[in-house]
Amino acid sequence: MRVSLTAVVLLTSALSLSAEAFKCPRVCSCDRAKLTVTCMGKNLTEVPPSLDEISLKLDLRNNNLQVLSRGAFSHAPYLTHLHLQRSNIITVKEGAFRTLGRMVSLNLAYNKIDILYQESFDGLSSLKELNLDHNRIEEIQPGAFSQLGFLNTLDLTHNQLVYIPNMAFQGLNNIKWLRLSHNALNNLAPEAFAGLFTLNRLSLDHNELQFFPTQTMTRLREVTRLDLSYNPMTYLGEESVSMAKLTHLYLDHMSLQDLSDQALSGAPHLTHLDLSHNQLRYLEPLKGPKELGSLNLTGNPSYCNCYLRPLRVWAGLRGAKLLGVCAGPPHLSDEPLQAVDPQDLRCRSRGETLQDELEREEARTRDASPTEKPKPRAKCPGLCDCDTEAQHATCEGRGHTKVPRGFPVKTQLLDLRRNHFHFLPVNSFPGTGQVLSLHLELCRIHEIEAGAFRGMKKLYYLYLSDNDLTSLDPGAFTGAPELTYLHLEGNRLLQFPGPALKLLPGLSVLHLERNAISKLDPAGLLSSVTPLLRELYLTNNTITSIAKAALDSAHLGILHLDSNQLTEMPTSALSKADNLEELKLSHNSIRWLGPDSVQPVSQSLRKLYLDQTGLEKISGAALGPGLRTLSVRGNQLKELPDLSLLTGLEEVDLQENPLLCDCSLLHLRRWMENVSLEVVATCGNPPEVKGQKVKEVSVFKSCPENGSPPEVKVVVDSGLSKPKPRLSKVSAVKARPAKPRNKQTKTGKKKPQRRPPKTPKSKKTLI
Ligand SMILES: *[C@@H]1O[C@H](CO)[C@@H](O)[C@H](O)[C@H]1NC(C)=O
Ligand SMILES: *[C@@H]1O[C@H](CO)[C@@H](O)[C@H](O)[C@H]1NC(C)=O
Ligand SMILES: *[C@@H]1O[C@H](CO)[C@@H](O)[C@H](O)[C@H]1NC(C)=O
Ligand SMILES: *[C@@H]1O[C@H](CO)[C@@H](O)[C@H](O)[C@H]1NC(C)=O
């Protein structure tokens, strides 16, 4: 008691002493007890040099500072709060805040800053809040925020950003909320938000994103709230949103005309979805979100007929609130969606609908006759529906044998699937220069003549899935240079259609599943044909061989080669694919995973799938430290390498392997006890424990305390080199730090990306 009393007395006297001695700059006013200094609106052109060293808070709002030079605050190292709003600051020099290691809150809003330099915020190692809103920032240099490991909130709203480069926010290891609203963003690099493992809220509203940035967003595992309101998106395709923890998604005030029922299939925890003020006439029940509590459709032209009934029923069943009113038909206008009886959501019979259509067709011909003045009405080919407001046209499954012509010139989405075109001649789509997305699935197409898509200069998505193509003419895609997503799955292609793809410099995602491709050659196939390809899907072909270096492509991130006939790891084919993150090889015949077998991609690889390949052995050295998913289900593995070294693992599937449960597997048992992962592994041997869970068997009790992990046996005649020496003590098994690894190793060597030219707006944003 006495001791603490003495301490209090000492402290108080120290404070009063300092209060008396506290220097206050001449033009400022000071609170000596609180150690705060206020110099608002004094037209100061520099930070007052006579600040007391022990000042805690400094308010310099409304001055005329212009430049904050290096060490501008070095005479006040204890500052915790600094207000610099509206101080006409144009430049923050590198190292301006270098000495301010105690700073908690820094406000630079309403200034004229245009570039954030690499070391602008160096030294602010305790900073929690940084306001940079209402400036003119158009460039963030790499590493600008790298020293702000404690920052919780970063406000960059109301600036002039058009592009976020890879790794822009690297170093923000504790960021919770990142605010980028009210900029001019039209492009986010895939790794723009890499490293933000703690981010749970992201605001991107009031920007110019035309597509949902799926790739970029999928990396944000912890985000629960995402605001994309007021962006000019027109369509949300399948699996656009893949964010495991997302609960609140704001997509209001956009230009959505369509939203796939699978768009949110990767957002299982979504509870609030705001789609208000879009152009949605119909919406199907959403696959994926199981806990949706509220769906806001206010301000959409919701048409209350039978097409809306499934949604209404679905929402009713799960007690999800549907907000909004019917826009038609007349007898239901303005009725709240929630209040409409599903029974009343009806369509007239198909016969009537057809009759109606014929009449319309007649009326159209009449209108066009010279005797009557034609009324301005939207043109639309027969047996098609054109929604000019939504810029959609569909002729799905209407028995067309030739591609209909005469769609409204502004059409952006053209859906022709399930017709019988058989052959697409040159110039099949005149007058469709605005179409972004063309659906031709299930149209029995066996040939595409060179120039068939001529004039489709904006075409971005092309769906040719499930047709009868056996080959592609080298000129098949002439005239559609913007094509970025190409679906050719479910055809009968015998070869990789390299020559045809050469005309598509921007191709980023290519689907070739379920074809009959048997080999991939020559060397350099991808890099010479589609240098920007990021995702290549070749599942379920008959591939037996892949030429050396065939798949070397600096951008390739996802490669699916599962369900083929490979007999070994395609190591040499990937010798320079050093950004590969996901590799699927399940359902091939690969019995060994040698120490060097994924070596070329081991730094970047995050997901590896080798289910049902007859795998008998995995070398520990084969698995890179950044691996997050490892799936080796249904193989012949008797032993496993020490997984405790893979500290980033988030998902492991070891089921259906005949593991040998003796002391050599003790490392696995210990690892399983210590990690927060759900790991199921079953013993296959010895016979007395066959079928029991590794977690439950008692055989490990009798093992020596520091039983060493198994030797990885080297099979002399396999040509595999000896595995690297490994830690042999079980104490090296770490509790899993749930934190995914930083990707620095991977991206660190890349040159930092610069902002691309401002105009024309890049359309390469990935959705
Ligand atoms: C502020 O200072 C600048 C020069 O430093 C001067 O031109 C301007 O008139 C001053 N404004 C006020 C309101 O004192
Ligand atoms: C639904 O959207 C409207 C219009 O954007 C908004 O005013 C309203 O607050 C929203 N309702 C809910 C419950 O989110
Ligand atoms: C591969 O595709 C064929 C034909 O589409 C299908 O019958 C078969 O089930 C598929 N195999 C796998 C493993 O997906
Ligand atoms: C499991 O993790 C704890 C810390 O969480 C650690 O003390 C212990 O040594 C670990 N056990 C093994 C077997 O690694």
Is residue 250 scored above 90 in pLDDT?
yes
Amino acid at 514: R
Is residue 755 scored above 70 in pLDDT?
no
Beta strands in 65-147 (DSSP E): 67-68, 81-83, 91-92, 105-107, 115-116, 129-131, 139-140
Alpha helices in 344-414 (DSSP H): 350-368
Q: Among the bound ligands, name the one nearest to the CA of residue 465.
A: 3
Distance from C-alpha of 327 to C-alpha of 311, rounded to nearest angstrom: 16
Whole-number pLDDT of residue 697: 87
Length in residues, the chain: 767
Distance from C-alpha of 736 to C-alpha of 673, rounded to nearest angstrom: 10
Strand 36-38 with 29-31, pairing: antiparallel
3-state class (DSSP) for residue 463: strand
pLDDT confidence of 702, banded at 50, 70, 90? Answer: confident
pLDDT confidence of 120, banded at 50, 70, 90? Answer: confident
Distance from C-alpha of 456 to C-alpha of 462, rounded to nearest angstrom: 11
pLDDT confidence of 369, banded at 50, 70, 90? Answer: very low
**322-328 mean pLDDT:** 90
Q: Which has more confidence, 236 or 767?
A: 236
Provide the Cα torsion 297, 301, 302, 307; round to 10°. Answer: -140
pLDDT confidence of 252, banded at 50, 70, 90? Answer: very high
Q: Ligand 3 mean position to 70 CA, how many Å?
A: 65
Q: Ligand 2 mean position to 254 CA, how many Å?
A: 14
469 and 408 belong to one structural domain = yes
367 contacts 374 by C-beta, under 8 angstroms: yes
Q: Nearest to residue 97, comparing CAs of 62, 161, 145?
A: 145
* Nearest atom (ligand 4) to Cα of 644: 14
Amino acid at 140: I
117 contacts 94 by C-beta, under 8 angstroms: yes
Is residue 157 scored above 70 in pLDDT?
yes
387 and 510 belong to one structural domain = yes
339 and 384 belong to one structural domain = no
Whole-number pLDDT of residue 706: 55
Mutate which of 512, 513, 514 to test ligand 3's pocket (most atoms within 8 Å of Cβ)?
Answer: 514
Residue 132 domain-assigned?
A: no
| Cis bond upstream, residue 190 (ω within 30) | no
Q: Ligand 3 mean position to 463 CA, how many Å?
A: 20
Whole-number pLDDT of residue 305: 86
Mutate which of 39, 40, 42, 43 to test ligand 1's pocket (most atoms within 8 Å of Cβ)?
Answer: 43
Amino acid at 469: L
Whole-number pLDDT of residue 753: 32
66 contacts 90 by C-beta, under 8 angstroms: yes
pTM: 0.50
Q: Ligand 4 mean position to 675 CA, how many Å?
A: 9
From first CA to last CA, the distance across the chain in angstroms is 65
340 and 411 belong to one structural domain = no
Phi (first) and psi of residue 664, to 5 degrees = -70, -15
CB 278 near ligand 2, within 6 Å? no
Is residue 19 scored above 60 in pLDDT?
no
Residue 587: partners with Cβ closer than 8 Å, 6 or more residues away: 562, 563, 564, 611, 612, 613
Whole-number pLDDT of residue 15: 46
Residue 194: partners with Cβ closer than 8 Å, 6 or more residues away: 166, 167, 170, 219, 743, 747
Q: What would the two tokens of residue 97 be?
A: 């805040």
Beta strands in 485-603 (DSSP E): 485-487, 509-511, 519-520, 535-537, 545-546, 558-560, 582-584, 592-593
Helix, strand, coil distribution of the chain in percent, nearest 5: 15, 15, 70
Write the residue with the smallest CA distance to atom 1 of ligand 2: 296
Residue recorded with tokens 């212009």: 66
Residue 676 domain-assigned?
A: no
Residue recorded with tokens 């030219």: 757
Number of domains in the chain: 2
The answer to whether the Cα torsion of 159, 164, 170, 175 is positive or negative is positive
Is residue 734 scored above 70 in pLDDT?
no
CA 89 to chain centre: 35
Q: Ligand 2 mean position to 644 CA, how many Å?
A: 48
386 and 452 belong to one structural domain = yes
Q: Ligand 4 mean position to 647 CA, how many Å?
A: 13
Least confident of 90-99, 200-209, 601-610, 723-732: 723-732
417 and 486 belong to one structural domain = yes
Q: Ligand 4 mean position to 671 CA, how many Å?
A: 9
Is residue 543 scored above 60 in pLDDT?
yes
The pLDDT tens digits for 519-540 are: 998 888 888 889 889 899 999 9
Residues 731-762 as b or e (16 or more Cβ within 10 Å = b): eebeebeeebbbbeebbeeeeebeeeeeeeee
146 contacts 169 by C-beta, under 8 angstroms: no
Write the residue with the smallest CA distance to atom 7 of ligand 4: 735
Q: Ligand 1 mean position to 43 CA, how many Å?
A: 6
CB 338 near ligand 2, within 6 Å? no
Q: Ligand 1 mean position to 27 CA, how many Å?
A: 15
Least confident of 4-18, 366-380, 646-660, 747-761: 747-761
624 contacts 603 by C-beta, under 8 angstroms: yes
341 and 400 belong to one structural domain = no
Distance from C-alpha of 286 to C-alpha of 265, rounded to nearest angstrom: 8
Is residue 763 scored above 50 in pLDDT?
no
H or E, element range at 394:
strand 392-394
Q: Tell me what the pLDDT averaged over the chain comes to.
A: 83
CB 565 near ligand 1, within 6 Å? no
CB 27 near ligand 1, within 6 Å? no
Write the residue with the smallest CA distance to atom 9 of ligand 4: 731
Q: Ligand 2 mean position to 324 CA, how many Å?
A: 9
Residue 599 domain-assigned?
A: no
Q: Nearest to residue 216, comparing CAs of 234, 199, 235?
A: 199
User: Would you list the DSSP string of 701-729?
Assistant: GGS-TTPPPPP-PPPGGGTPPPPPP----
The pLDDT tens digits for 437-461 are: 899 999 999 999 999 999 999 898 8
Distance from C-alpha of 212 to C-alpha of 264, rounded to nearest angstrom: 11
Distance from C-alpha of 672 to C-alpha of 658, rounded to nearest angstrom: 17
| Cis bond upstream, residue 329 (ω within 30) | yes
pLDDT confidence of 378, banded at 50, 70, 90? Answer: low
Q: What would the two tokens of residue 364 be?
A: 């159209």
Mutate which of 515, 540, 563 to test ligand 3's pocket (most atoms within 8 Å of Cβ)?
Answer: 540
CB 540 near ligand 3, within 6 Å? yes
Phi (first) and psi of residue 259, to 5 degrees = -145, 115
Residues facing 518 on adjacent strands: none
Last residue of a domain, one of 473, 494, 514: 514
Residue 195 domain-assigned?
A: no
Range of the domain at 461: 380-514
CB 271 near ligand 2, within 6 Å? no
Q: Ligand 3 mean position to 586 CA, how many Å?
A: 14
Q: Ligand 3 mean position to 514 CA, how many Å?
A: 7
The pLDDT tens digits for 451-499 are: 999 999 989 889 999 999 999 999 999 999 989 889 999 999 999 999 9
Q: Among the bound ligands, name the one nearest to the CA of residue 539.
A: 3
Alpha helices in 576-648 (DSSP H): none
**286-291 mean pLDDT:** 90
Strand 81-83 with 57-59, pairing: parallel
Residue 355 domain-assigned?
A: no
Q: Which has more confidence, 737 or 360?
A: 360
Residue 26 domain-assigned?
A: no
Least confident of 268-277, 328-337, 385-394: 385-394
Amino acid at 155: D
**73-89 mean pLDDT:** 94
332 and 401 belong to one structural domain = no
pLDDT confidence of 318, banded at 50, 70, 90? Answer: confident
Least confident of 13-22, 35-44, 126-135: 13-22
Whole-number pLDDT of residue 713: 36
Is residue 377 scored above 60 in pLDDT?
no
* Nearest atom (ligand 2) to Cα of 252: 5
**742-761 mean pLDDT:** 32
Distance from C-alpha of 590 to C-alpha of 622, rounded to nearest angstrom: 14
Q: What would the two tokens of residue 244 be?
A: 């495991």
CB 45 near ligand 1, within 6 Å? yes
Write the residue with the smallest CA distance to atom 5 of ligand 3: 514
* Nearest atom (ligand 3) to Cα of 563: 13
Q: Ligand 2 mean position to 278 CA, how many Å?
A: 12
**575-593 mean pLDDT:** 93
Is residue 724 scored above 60 in pLDDT?
no
List the CATH number of the domain containing 384.
3.80.10.10
Last residue of a domain, one of 346, 370, 392: 346
Q: What would the two tokens of residue 2 be?
A: 């006495």
Amino acid at 482: E
Write the residue with the smallest CA distance to atom 11 of ligand 1: 43
Is residue 695 scored above 90 in pLDDT?
no
Whole-number pLDDT of residue 363: 46
Q: What would the two tokens of residue 254 be?
A: 């956009």
Whole-number pLDDT of residue 351: 42
Distance from C-alpha of 82 to C-alpha of 73, rounded to nearest angstrom: 10
Least confident of 268-277, 679-688, 747-756: 747-756
Beta strands in 625-719 (DSSP E): 629-631, 651-653, 659-660, 683-685
pLDDT confidence of 68, banded at 50, 70, 90? Answer: very high
Whole-number pLDDT of residue 87: 93
Beta strands in 464-512 (DSSP E): 485-487, 509-511
The pLDDT tens digits for 380-427 are: 898 898 887 668 899 988 889 899 998 998 898 899 999 999 999 999
Q: Tell me the CA distances in angstroms from 415 to 185, 238, 381, 462, 499, one per residue in order.
A: 29, 15, 13, 10, 27
Residue 124 domain-assigned?
A: no
Last residue of a domain, one of 464, 495, 514: 514
Residue 46 domain-assigned?
A: no
Q: Among the bound ligands, name the one nearest to the CA of residue 676.
A: 4
* Percentage of the chain exceeding pLDDT 70: 85
CB 563 near ligand 3, within 6 Å? yes
CB 41 near ligand 1, within 6 Å? no
Q: Which of 230-239, 552-561, 670-679, 730-739 has the highest mean pLDDT?
A: 552-561
Write the residue with the smallest CA distance to atom 7 of ligand 1: 43
Whole-number pLDDT of residue 644: 86
Distance from C-alpha of 516 to C-alpha of 493, rounded to nearest angstrom: 5
Distance from C-alpha of 680 to C-alpha of 657, rounded to nearest angstrom: 10
CA 438 to chain centre: 24
Strand 392-394 with 385-387, pairing: antiparallel
Whole-number pLDDT of residue 20: 55
Is residue 306 scored above 90 in pLDDT?
no
Q: Ligand 3 mean position to 134 CA, how many Å?
A: 55
Write the residue with the smallest CA distance to atom 13 of ligand 1: 43
Q: Ligand 2 mean position to 275 CA, how many Å?
A: 9
**608-629 mean pLDDT:** 90
Mutate which of 298, 321, 322 to test ligand 2's pocket (most atoms within 8 Å of Cβ)?
Answer: 298
Write the residue with the smallest CA distance to atom 10 of ligand 2: 296
* Nearest atom (ligand 2) to Cα of 323: 1
Q: Ligand 3 mean position to 540 CA, how many Å?
A: 6
CB 560 near ligand 3, within 6 Å? no
Q: What is the DSSP-derived secondary structure letter of residue 682?
A: B
Residues 487-496 as b or e (16 or more Cβ within 10 Å = b): bbbbbebbbb
